[in-house]
Amino acid sequence: MKEEIKEKQKEEEILRILEENARLSDAEIARMMGIEENEVKGIIAELKRKGIIRGYKAVINREKAGIEIVQALIDVKVSPERNTGYDAIAERISRFPEVRSVRLVSGEYDLSVLVSGKTMHEVAYFVAEKIAPLEQVRNTVTHFLLKTYKENGEIYGEEEKGKRLAVTL
């Protein structure tokens, strides 16, 4: 029992470390945790096999990179299906390439869908032509994202704060 708890703690610590910086090597993680590199490799392989680690991604400040993209959060009210509830419609919506994420949420709406496109028109067309017509969809509300201040734990704009000149009289 104690051994299972220790293994679970190691898994959680590795996940925390990877979430903060997925570019660290197994050797660096092992040094940080005070365990063998092969143990880290084994734990990470098992986490991948179980589907706990789904992938590694970079957090990109698209505005700074000059990448024009329009994103919107779509609140979707749906009629849940018998036997599958919200899962079937959420999975169907997830399959559209414009969709970045789908989450079941509490409140007036059931799903929160993050979508992206090249223009506001493209995103609006996607919602009107692909999401709204789905049989289970009862209502949608679209919120266009105007500016990102923080994403995946990374605060945007911090590096510019130090560049301001002090004003003195």
Which position has the higher pLDDT, 27 or 5?
27
Which position has the higher pLDDT, 122 or 5?
122
What would the 3-class secondary structure string for 21-69 be?
CCCCCHHHHHHHHCCCHHHHHHHHHHHHHCCCCCCCCCCCCHHHHCCCC
118 occurs within a structural domain: yes
CATH number at residue 30: 1.10.10
pLDDT greater than 80 at residue 164: no
Q: Is 50 left (phi over 0), alpha (psi -120 to 50) or beta?
A: alpha
| pLDDT tens by residue, 116-140 | 999 999 999 999 999 999 999 999 9
CATH number at residue 75: 3.30.70.920
pTM of the complete model: 0.80
What pLDDT is stored for residue 165 in this prediction? 56
135 occurs within a structural domain: yes
How many domains in the chain?
2
What pLDDT is stored for residue 167 in this prediction? 61
The band of 60, judged by pLDDT with boundaries at 50, 70 and 90, is: confident
